[in-house]
Amino acid sequence: MSVLEMRNAAKLINNGPKEKKTLLDHIDLSIKKNDFITVLGGNGAGKSTLFNTVSGSMPLSSGKIFIGDKEVTQLSEENRASSISRVFQDPKMGTAPRMTVAENLLLAKGRGKKRRLRLRQLKQNLDHFYQITKDVGNGLENHLHTPAGDLSGGQRQALSLLMATIQTPQLLLLDEHTAALDPKTSKLLMQLTDQRIQEQQLTCLMITHRMEDALQYGNRMIVMQKGEIMQDLNEEEKAKLSMPDLLQFFEEIN
């Protein structure tokens, strides 16, 4: 059974009184458990629309989406949140700025669970939060009681990743999550990302514009153009690619 399946998925928007623009062009996509898929494509290729329709923040115009054996096409983003976690490009989008690091992690720990009145049990979780933040390697463990808004961009994005994976989601969406970081911080975050994915055996889709990351990470690669999946490369095919191959491909489709 697939973790995610999109069948004939299309998204059209009005681009004027008598004109419609196609953002997703009737795509079929099946993602197996433990797939780590890098997603490439130029501006307007449909990458963000793909993520938005999967997460539920943007409804499809037609087609169907399944998570496991459950159809979620008509479910809201909130109702898909127990199955899907997402880390955005902007470090500010994944955390609550006035809440401390520990409070953000505690909030994420309750993701998808029924909310009811009870003691929040922050102190009981501090040792666990200290350990997982220490593993990041950027000093985040020393800021458990620091508001997330006071962290550096790299620390805040690492916190977003920890929050997205503190409960094991059925599907993890990484939406250019290293794009706003400097090269050194980006490299460290990608190492942490790969570590979390491998240790928790996560299923993941990752949009990236960093060609080296697309080649180094993941067992599968899809390339999009104008709302279509132009290439879907398996692990063996992906392993044969080089940087000139990717650059040549983008020259051909643009």
Here the CATH number for the domain that contains residue 42 is 3.40.50.300
Q: Is 153 left (phi over 0), alpha (psi -120 to 50) or beta?
A: alpha
pLDDT confidence tier of residue 17, bands split at 50, 70 and 90: confident
Asked whether the predicted pLDDT for residue 113 surpasses 80, the reply is no
Q: How many structural domains does the chain have?
A: 1
Q: Is residue 203 part of a domain?
A: yes
* Residue 206 and residue 27 in contact, taking contact as beta carbons nearer than 8 Å: no
Determine if the pTM surpasses 0.85: yes
* Least confident window among 112-116, 134-138, 147-151, 207-211: 112-116
pLDDT confidence tier of residue 15, bands split at 50, 70 and 90: confident
Q: Is residue 25 part of a domain?
A: no
Q: Is residue 101 part of a domain?
A: yes
For residues 83-105, give the mean pLDDT.
93
CA atoms within 13 A on the CB side of 198: 9
SS (H, E, C) the chain: CCCEEEEEEEEEEECCCCCEEEEEEEEEEEECCCCEEEEECCCCCCHHHHHHHHHCCCCCCEEEEEECCEECCCCCHHHHCCCEEEECCCHHHCCCCCCEHHHHHHHHHCCCCCCCCCCCCHHHHHHHHHHHHHCCCCCHHHHCCCEHHHCCHHHHHHHHHHHHHCCCCCEEEEECCCCCCCHHHHHHHHHHHHHHHHHHCCCEEEECCCHHHHHHCCCEEEEEECCEEEEEECHHHHHCCCHHHHHHHHHHHC
- Exposure class string for 174-210: b at 16+ Cβ within 10 A, else e: bbbbbebbeeebbebbbebbbebbeeeebbbbbbbeb
Q: Identify the pLDDT of residue 121.
A: 77
Q: Is residue 23 part of a domain?
A: no
- Start-to-end Cα distance in the chain: 35
Q: Is residue 71 part of a domain?
A: no
Other beta carbons within 10 angstroms of residue 163's beta carbon come to: 23
Asked whether the predicted pLDDT for residue 231 surpasses 60, the reply is yes
* Least confident window among 9-23, 132-146, 198-212, 224-238: 9-23
Asked whether the predicted pLDDT for residue 119 surpasses 70, the reply is no
Q: Is residue 143 part of a domain?
A: yes
Q: Identify the pLDDT of residue 120.
A: 63
- Domain enclosing residue 46, as ranges: 33-59+77-112+120-253
Q: Identify the pLDDT of residue 253.
A: 61
Average pLDDT, the chain: 91
Give per-residue pLDDT as tens, 55-64. Answer: 999 999 999 9
For residues 156-182, give the mean pLDDT.
94
Structure tokens at 178: 């290293």
